[in-house]
Amino acid sequence: MNSPLTHPAPTTTLRPTDLAGVRDAVRDTPGRIAVAGAGSAAGWAGALEPVDAVLDVSGLSGVITHNPGDMTVSAHAGTPLRALVEELSEHGQHVCIDAARIADGATLGGLVATGDAGPAALVHGTLRDLVIGVTVVLADATVARSGGHVIKNVAGYDLAKLLHGSHGTLGVIAEVVLRLHPVPQRTATLVVDAPLARAAEIAARVLEGPFEPAALEWVSDGSGRLLVRVEGTDEALPARVSRLREVLGGASATDIVSGERHSHPTTSGESAVRSEDPWLRHAELTRGTPDAAVLRIGAKPSVLPGLVSELAPAAATVGLGTGVATLSLAPDAVADAHRRVHAVGGTSQLRARPPGADAPAWGPPPSALPVLQALKHALDPDGRFGPGRFSPWM
Amino acid sequence: MALDTAVRAAFERVLDPRDVLSDPVKCRAYECDGLTGYRVRPDLVLLPRDAAQVAAAVRVCHEHGVPFVARGAGTGLSGGALPVADGVVISVARLKSVLEVDPVNRRAVVQPGVTNLEITAAAAPHGLYYAPDPSSQQVCTIGGNVAENSGGAHCLKYGFTTNHVLSCEVVLADGSVVTLGTDTGEQAGPDLRGVFLGSEGTLGITTAVTVRLLRAPESVRTLLADFPSIAAAGDVVSDIVAAGIVPAAVEMMDTLAIEAAEEAVHAGYTVGVPAALVVELDGPVEECDAQFELVKAICEEHGCTRLHIAGSPEERAKIWKGRKAAFAAVGRISPDYFVQDGVVPRTRLAEVLDRIAGMGEEAGLRVANVFHAGDGNLHPLVLYSAAAGETERAEELSGAIAELCVEMGGSLSGEHGIGTDKACSMPKMFGEEDLATMHRVRAAFDPDGICNPGKVLPTPRLCGERPGKYKPHPLEESGAIERL
pLDDT score recorded for residue B461: 63
Q: What number is the average pLDDT over the span B110-135?
A: 97
Among residues A193, A153, A89, which one has the least CA distance to residue B410? Answer: A153
pLDDT at residue A6 greater than cutoff 60: no
Give the integer Cα–Cα distance in Å for B89 and B44: 6
Residues of A whose CB is below 8 A from B431: 145
Determine the Cα angle at A136 with ends A132 and A138, to 5°. Answer: 150
Say what the pLDDT of residue B82 is: 96
**Residues 6+ away with beta carbon under 8 Å from B396:** B363
**C-beta neighbour count of A379 within 10 angstroms:** 25
d(CA A21, CA B129): 48
Please indicate whether, in this complex, the C-beta atoms of B186 and A324 are within 8 angstroms of each other.
yes
Over the stretch B354-363, which tens digit does the pLDDT of each residue have?
999 999 999 9
CA neighbor of A54 nearest in space, from A67, A39, A68, A75:
A39
pLDDT the model gives residue B2:
62
Which amino acid, residue B17? P
User: Which residues on chain A are in Cβ contact (under 8 Å) with B482?
Assistant: 18-20
B297 in A contact zone (CB under 8 Å): no
Give pLDDT, residue B329: 86
If one counts every other C-beta atom within 10 angstroms of the C-beta of residue A8, the result is 8
pLDDT of residue A292: 95
- Residue A45 has a CB neighbour count (10 Å cut-off) of 26
Report the distance separating Cα A290 and Cα A384, nearest Å: 30
CA distance B436 to B73: 31
d(CA A2, CA A5): 9
Q: What value does the mean pLDDT take over residues B296-318?
A: 96
Residues of chain A with pLDDT > 70, as a percent, come to 90
Q: What is the pLDDT of residue B95?
A: 98
Out of A115, A156, A212, name the one closest to residue B426 (CB).
A156
The minimum CA-CA distance between B185 and chain A, rounded to whole Å, is 8
Q: Considering only CA atoms, which of B187, B224, B182, B434 is closest in space to residue B311?
A: B224
Integer Cα distance of B236 and B220 in angstroms:
20
B345/A70 CB distance under 8 A: yes
The β-bridge relationship of strands B165-171 and B205-212 is antiparallel
Dump pLDDT digits (tens) for B323-380: 888 888 888 889 999 999 999 999 999 899 999 999 999 999 999 999 999 999 999 9
pLDDT of residue A273: 36
CB B30 within 8 A of CB B45: yes
Distance in Å, alpha carbon of A338 to nearest chain B alpha carbon: 12
Which of A118, A233, A127, A144 has the alpha carbon at shortest distance from A179?
Answer: A127
Measure B415 CA to nearest chain A CA, in Å: 6
- The beta-carbon neighbor of B188 closest among A148, A208, A347 is A347
What is the rounded CA–CA span in Å between residue B178 and residue B187? 15
Distance CA B110, CA B98 (A): 4
Please answer whether residues A195 and A228 qualify as being in contact, where contact means their C-beta atoms are separated by less than 8 angstroms. Answer: no
Query: Does the pLDDT of residue A70 top 80, yes or no?
Result: yes
The residue type of A302 is S
Predicted local confidence at residue A277, as pLDDT: 85
Secondary structure of chain A in HEC code, one letter for each residue:
CCCCCCCCCCCEEECCCCHHHHHHHHHHCCCCEEEECCCCCCCCCCCCCCCCEEEEHHHCCCEEEEECCCCEEEEECCCEHHHHHHHHHCCCEECCCCCHHHHHCCEHHHHHHHCCCCCCHHHHCCHHHCEEEEEEECCCCCEEEEECCCCCCCCCCCHHHHHCCCCCCCCEEEEEEEECEECCCEEEEEEEECCHHHHHHHHHHHHHCCCCCCEEEEEECCCEEEEEEEEECCCCHHHHHHHHHHHHCCCEEEEECCCHHHCCCCCHHHHHHHCCCHHHHHHHHHHCCCCCEEEEEECCCCCHHHHHHHHCCCEEEEECCCCEEEEEECHHHHHHHHHHHHHCCCEEEECCCCCCCCCCCECCCCCCHHHHHHHHHHHCCCCCECCCCCCCCC
- pLDDT of B469 over the 60 cut: no
- Across chain A, mean pLDDT equals 91
CB atoms B218 and A367 under 8 Å: no
Sheet with A131-137, edge to edge strand ranges: A63-67, A72-76, A172-179, A131-137, A143-147
CB atoms < 10 A from the CB of B24, how many? 11
B179-230 confidence digits (pLDDT tens): 999 988 888 999 999 999 999 999 999 999 999 999 999 999 999 999 999 9
> What pairs with residue A384 in β-bridges?
none
At residue B307, φ and ψ (nearest 5 deg) are: -125, 115
pLDDT for position A223: 86
Work out the pLDDT band at A262, boundaries 50, 70, 90. Answer: very low
Put simply, whether the predicted model's pTM sits higher than 0.90 gets the answer yes
Handedness of CA B110, B113, B117, B121 (dihedral sign): negative
The packing angle between helices B349-363 and B391-407, to 10°, is 160
Does residue A229 contact residue A214 with C-beta atoms inside 8 Å? yes
Number of neighbouring beta carbons within 10 Å of residue A340: 17
**What's the pLDDT at A63?**
98
- The confidence score (pLDDT) of residue B183 equals 86
Beta carbon pairs, A and B, within 8 Å: 294
Judge whether B449 is closer than 8 Å to chain A, CB to CB: no
pLDDT of residue B324: 83
Question: Does A10 score more than 80 pLDDT?
Answer: no
Determine the Cα–Cα distance for residues A324 and A98; give it in Å rounded to an integer. Answer: 14
Gap between the terminal Cα atoms of chain A:
25
B12-18: long-range pairs with CB below 8 Å, 24+:
B14/B53, B14/B56, B14/B57, B14/B59, B14/B60, B15/B46, B15/B47, B15/B48, B15/B49, B15/B53, B15/B56, B15/B57, B16/B49
A149 to chain B: which residues are within 8 Å by CB? 345, 409-410, 475
Q: Which residues pair with B449 in a beta bridge?
A: none
Q: Letter for the amino acid at A350? A: L
The per-residue pLDDT of chain B, averaged, comes to: 93
Read off the pLDDT of each residue in A78-103 and give the average, rounded to a whole number.
Answer: 96
8 Å CB contact of B345 and A150:
yes
pLDDT in tens, A268-318: 333 333 346 899 999 999 999 889 999 999 999 999 999 999 999 999 999
Mark yes or no for CB contact B456/A240 under 8 Å: no
Among A6, A50, A41, residue whose Cα is nearest residue A358: A6
Measured between CA atoms, the residue of chain B closest to residue A147 is: B411
- More reliable by pLDDT, B326 or B407: B407
**What span, in angstroms and rounded, lies between the C-alpha atoms of B341 and B76?**
12
Residues of A in contact with B187 (CB under 8 A): 115, 128, 164-165, 347
Mean pLDDT for B163-180 is: 98
**Tens digits of per-residue pLDDT, A148-194?**
999 999 999 999 999 999 999 999 999 999 999 999 999 999 999 99
- pLDDT over threshold 80, residue A229: yes
Amino acid identity of residue B369, one-letter, is N
Distance CA A140, CA A384 (A): 9
CB contact under 8 A, B438 and A184: no
Q: Are the CB atoms for A141 and A170 separated by under 8 Å?
A: no
Instruction: Give the percent of chain B with pLDDT over 70.
Output: 95
- Residue of B224, B170, B157 whose CA lies nearest to B197: B170
Position A353 scores a pLDDT of 92
User: Does B175 contact chain A (CB < 8 Å)?
Assistant: no
- Sheet of strand A33-36, all strands in order from the earlier edge strand to the far edge: A12-14, A53-56, A33-36
The DSSP bridge partners found for residue B298 are none
- Which of A229, A206, A115 shows the shortest CA–CA distance to A163? A115
Structural domains in chain B, sorted by start: 5-91 (3.30.43.10), 98-215 (3.30.465.10), 219-319 (3.30.70.2190), 334-423 (3.30.70.2740)
Nearest-angstrom CA–CA distance, A54 and A12: 6
- Interface contact flag, A149 B475, Cβ < 8 Å: yes
According to the model, what pLDDT value does residue A268 have?
A: 36
Cis peptide before B42 (omega within 30 of 0): no
Which residues are within 8 A (CB) of A384 and not within 5 positions of it... i.e. 6 or more apart? A31, A32, A33, A139
Q: Could you tell me which chain B residue has the CA closest to the CA of A158?
A: B195
